[in-house]
Amino acid sequence: MAFALSNMQVTSDAFGHHRDIPTQYTGEGEDVSPALAWQGAPEGTQGFAVVCHDPDAPLVQDGTYGFVHWVLYNLPGTLSELQENTQEGVTGKNDFGNVGYGGPMPPDGHGKHHYYFWVLALDRQTSLPEGLSLPELLKEIEPNLLGMNRLIGTFKRD
């Protein structure tokens, strides 16, 4: 992923930065996406994309590491929050092989994983088709990336 860290603030009512993600947002619970909010998007923002990535997953695939749990895009620049289990935007393909959100579910006995909920601010509104993988999405939006920031949650299976 291109790196354009900005001063944008990303938060959630569901969990705090570097705090445990409640079970309902994981593969052991309801497996619904958590609410997210952001403020301070870079000037000129016309669209957003959201990605949830677990860099602690012991996988290397398609030249990238970790595990992609959520790819969401075609979000308008006027948006500043997503509700729990959002229906906003268009969903891409996660590394479970599904389209949509797939919550944390690290392997048994693998310890605590960190889940990066990235919000990417773009200089244009996108109208991309459903089902793009993270590499496919990044190929499309990287030239339009103005800034990004993340909220990091943690989860460990018992």
Q: What is the pLDDT of residues 104-138, one digit of tens each?
A: 998 888 899 999 999 999 999 999 999 999 999 99
Mean predicted confidence (pLDDT) in 141-153: 96
In this structure, what are the phi and psi dihedrals at residue 134, rounded to the nearest 5 degrees? -60, -50
Q: What's the CATH code, domain 9-157? A: 3.90.280.10
pLDDT digits (tens, 9 = 90+) for 89-109: 999 999 999 999 999 998 888
* Average confidence score pLDDT of the chain: 93
**Quick one: tokens of 143?**
């030239």
Residue written as token pair 């979000």: 75
Contact 26, 103 (CB under 8 A): yes
Q: Which residues contact 96 (CB under 8 A, 6 or more apart)?
A: 69, 102
pTM of structure: 0.94
Query: What value, to the nearest 5°, has the Cα angle with vertex 119 and ends 113 and 123?
Result: 155
Q: What is the reported pLDDT for 121?
A: 97
